[in-house]
Structure 1
Amino acid sequence: MNHAETIIPGRARPFEKSQVATPPWLKAILGRELAPTRDEYNAVNSALWDGDKAMDALVAWMFEADTKERRAQVQWAFQNGDQGLENSPAAIQAFINTLQNPPGWIDFELVEEGVSFIHGLGITAGYVLRDLALMGGYMLSGFNQSLVMTGALNKGTAQRIAETGKWWIDCTEHQGMRPFGPGYKTTLQVRMVHALVRRGLDKHKDWDHSHWGLPLSQIDMVATYLGFSVVMLVGLRKLGIPVLPRESKAVIHLWSYACWLMGVEEKWLVQSETEGFVLLNHTYMTQSKPDATSRELAQALAREPLERSFDRFQSAQRKLSYHQHLGMSQYFLGRKKMAELGFEDLGLPWYPLASNGPRALAYTAEHFIPGLRDRQQQRGRKAQLAMLASMFGEQEHAIIKPDTDHPAHI
């Protein structure tokens, strides 16, 4: 379908409503107004029509003939890299060649610093990403439509969350983002699934282009990657976790590179937390207010801990985890926003109120006392892997395998 890029989809807020005054203290930190200029507003909304040109072209080639066989050839190339690439079809070679020249600013030593910092966070990172970034993201209904129409998070929610966790774990392995490391390969696999979903929903009779723009557009991907970086850093500070400037830069760098690999255009990749905070706010201008999809997805996410697998006292641990995560979401989002997501008054968020202080003190001590940081990172990573294992249970730790009613199924 051809789209007129000059048309602003109905999901976007009018420019006038984006012009909210920036508090003086925040303007001093950012060095500018938070609100977008007219040019920035137009650029963000124009990108609601943009997909992932390189991967979309590769998927189009897959569907020209022998789709299953061609998909298998693509997946082989993603797993094996340059090995035997000269014998691959020209379309696959052309795509792999787009990966050969990453942005010149990529610094793999800084990426590794970001990985080490994330390891040291332990399950605190999981609380922020799940209970703030993901739950809060559902309030922005602009990209909820893709999730609902794929059934990705309102059907089999536990499996979908675990698959996302697997991708995150792979991306945050040491050397994982090196060419054809575990995070590198998993990211390419997810990128292909995104393109398949984009193709499927773009042709779907129920997809309203005039209102939603292109499924899984550049801006939807931008907002998602900023959740893994900027939103995580903001959430950590709200939990009392100190973040040094170098650590902030490393986290931003890690996810900017990961999302370049995911197909986000370089012009949308930021180099600092302040740049990311501004861009995140600009992506909000493309989002509708909470609606029925927001509540559907939020309620499904809230129930996810009730399906986890634990070695002992499973019923009790499931219920405890359920209340812990709900309490965290209320602490991050507040009662008003939780009500918009369909949650009744939950009372005081007892878990974060009781645990934030001790958690922050323990983290700070281990992080800054000489000789303890390595142990903190090792123990933190072990806790992250244990949380992922509880999500998968006895199932294989794998990423998305679309079933027959999924737009990405072949």
Structure 2
Amino acid sequence: MPMHQEKSRIPGRARPFEKSQKPTPLWLKALLGRELAPSREEYTAVNQALWVGDYNMDGLVNWMFEADAGKRKAQIQQAIQCGPDRVKDCPQEIQAFFKTLQPAPTWIDFDLIEEGIRFTHSSGLAAGYVLRDLALMGGYLLSGFNQSLIMTGALNKGTSRRIAETGKWWIDCTEPHGLRPQGPGYQSTLNVRLVHSLVRRGLNKRADWDHSHWALPLSQIDMVATYLGFSVVMLVGLRKLGFPILPRESTAVIHLWSYACWLMGVEEQWLVKSEAEGFVLLNHTYMTQSKPDENSKELAEALSKEPLERTYPRFERAQRKLSYHLHLGMSRYFLGREKMQQLGFKDQGIPWLTLASNVPRPAIYCAGHFLPGMRPHQQRRGRKAQLAMLTAMFGDEDHGLIAPDRNHPAHIDTGN
């Protein structure tokens, strides 16, 4: 069936509307100010957005392929790094794309973004545990979300490198002033956005991509679910670890990732202003996802073994095993026994090691966060731990973002 006819249908990956209409507990309804389940209009909107990509970047990529794709890609990347004004004879198409980013929308509050960054530093390794062992591992339960990963080779290529590259983007976005134009987070986000568009274009043309079931690769809703993982899921996970989060801190984290993912190409209609709004939208995105399958299990197993490939300066073998058990236990703590079994893990009982490590976390966090004069020290110590984890993931490899090889749908032969 032609693509334009498919777009009028709900894709096969989506769950039926009737299954989304579960009653909301009274306490949660009072907290959210509404039912958690989507209305018919909301359900239709999220499913139709499965057919929508990134209009501005996809247009730029289409121009790139019109002639000398390697040269034009290099010009785009130079504009990302230095700004279009620094590109010699910068093509009008590149200038037009960057005009969609500048000036920044009036709703963006860079001071609030910096508050979100400082809070992220304060959370230290706990943020990494939540994002890896809850958001990422839990995301593998959603097989509709996984399909683009699978078809770019995620099942049989270096998991450690892929996870490290995601961590690098997160670190760049949470650098002080990192999301300012030409800041590290700004550059990384636009580079990832370019790769996403190239993947979307490549997979969209493949005969084995089933549009009737999967809709568009890396759609708006897939990107929305990802950004809510870095914001809403992180906040929920930190609370489960016992961290008290102030309302202003919650708002700052949401604002930080709303801007980062606006830069990533998420349309403004899908950006949220509060954690409650984000929690509701996250639930709505779940309605577009299929249940876990065999690929979900393979992705989960590969992620669980990633710590066994890390590099440590001392006692490497012992630290690898300790990290492996801590991360697996964290996933068990966050997701529960039933969901871990859905991902193919055998029941290993109560994760005592993880629970024991979690006991002092809230007290240590509160002491550093609320005692007078301690918070800057906590932020420095937390950031140092986050950077050390990233270094362990990369090992001796370059701390860079994805560089698609010839077998990757985002690869472009530059002639080098």
TM-score of the two chains, using structure 2 as the length reference: 0.97
**Corresponding letter in the other structure for 1:288:** S
Deviation at 1:95, TM superposition (A): 0.6
Whole-Å separation in 2 of the counterparts to 1:302 and 1:33 = 35
Whole-Å separation in 1 of the counterparts to 2:39 and 2:159 = 38
Whole-Å separation in 1 of the counterparts to 2:339 and 2:105 = 38
Q: Which residue of 1 aligns with 2:214?
A: 212
Q: Which residue of 1 aligns with 2:384?
A: 382
Identity between Structure 1 and Structure 2 (%): 72
Please show how residues 88-127 of structure 1 align to structure 2 within 5 Å.
88-127=90-129
- State the Cα deviation string for residues 96-129 of structure 1 (Å, max 9, x = none): 1111133221000000000000001111100000
**Corresponding letter in the other structure for 2:116:** G
Q: Is the 8 A contact 2:231 2:253 kept in 1?
A: yes
Please show how residues 174-185 of structure 1 align to structure 2 within 5 Å.
174-185=176-187
**Corresponding letter in the other structure for 2:11:** P
Please show how residues 83-232 of structure 1 align to structure 2 within 5 Å.
83-85=85-87, 87-152=89-154, 154-232=156-234
Whole-Å separation in 2 of the counterparts to 1:102 and 1:86 = 24
Deviation at 1:399, TM superposition (A): 0.3
Whole-Å separation in 2 of the counterparts to 1:351 and 1:120 = 23
Q: Which residue of 2 aligns with 1:372?
A: 374
Q: Is the 8 A contact 2:52 2:216 kept in 1?
A: yes
Whole-Å separation in 1 of the counterparts to 2:86 and 2:237 = 44
- State the Cα deviation string for residues 52-85 of structure 1 (Å, max 9, x = none): 0000011111111101111101101100114335
Q: Is the 8 A contact 1:52 1:263 kept in 2?
A: yes
Q: Is the 8 A contact 1:153 1:301 kept in 2?
A: no
Q: Which residue of 2 aligns with 1:33?
A: 35
Whole-Å separation in 1 of the counterparts to 2:156 and 2:263 = 27
* Aligned counterpart for 1:238 among listed residues 237, 240, 246: 240
Whole-Å separation in 1 of the counterparts to 2:88 and 2:17 = 49
Deviation at 1:359, TM superposition (A): 1.0
**Corresponding letter in the other structure for 1:402:** P
**Corresponding letter in the other structure for 1:196:** L
Q: Is the 8 A contact 1:308 1:392 kept in 2?
A: yes
Task: Please identify runs of 4+ aligned residues in structure 1 that moved more than 3 A.
Answer: 1-4
Q: Is the 8 A contact 1:154 1:296 kept in 2?
A: no
Q: Which residue of 1 aligns with 2:410?
A: 408
Structure 2 residue 3 is matched with structure 1 residue 2 = yes
Q: Secondary structure at the match of 1:87?
A: coil
Deviation at 1:152, TM superposition (A): 3.3
Whole-Å separation in 2 of the counterparts to 1:185 and 1:141 = 30
Q: Secondary structure at the match of 1:403?
A: coil
**Corresponding letter in the other structure for 1:58:** L
* Greater alpha carbon shift after TM alignment, 357-366 vs 228-237: 357-366
- State the Cα deviation string for residues 357-376 of structure 1 (Å, max 9, x = none): 20111001110000000000
Q: Which residue of 2 aligns with 1:265?
A: 267
Q: Is the 8 A contact 2:49 2:219 kept in 1?
A: yes
Whole-Å separation in 2 of the counterparts to 1:154 and 1:223 = 24
Deviation at 1:356, TM superposition (A): 1.4
Please show how residues 315-330 of structure 1 align to structure 2 within 5 Å.
315-330=317-332
Q: Which residue of 2 aligns with 1:352?
A: 354
Deviation at 1:155, TM superposition (A): 1.6
Q: Is the 8 A contact 1:133 1:232 kept in 2?
A: yes
TM-score of the two chains, using structure 1 as the length reference: 0.98
Between the two proteins, the alignment pairs up a number of residues equal to: 410
Whole-Å separation in 1 of the counterparts to 2:248 and 2:156 = 38
> Where does structure 1 lack aligned partners over 5 or more consecutive residues?
none
Q: Is the 8 A contact 2:75 2:87 kept in 1?
A: no
**Cα separation, partners in 2 of 1:13 and 1:346, compared to 1, 3 Å:** same
Q: Is the 8 A contact 2:3 2:211 kept in 1?
A: no
Q: Is the 8 A contact 2:178 2:186 kept in 1?
A: yes
Deviation at 1:210, TM superposition (A): 0.1
> Where does structure 2 lack aligned partners over 5 or more consecutive residues?
none
Deviation at 1:154, TM superposition (A): 4.5
Structure 2 residue 11 is matched with structure 1 residue 14 = no
Deviation at 1:351, TM superposition (A): 2.5
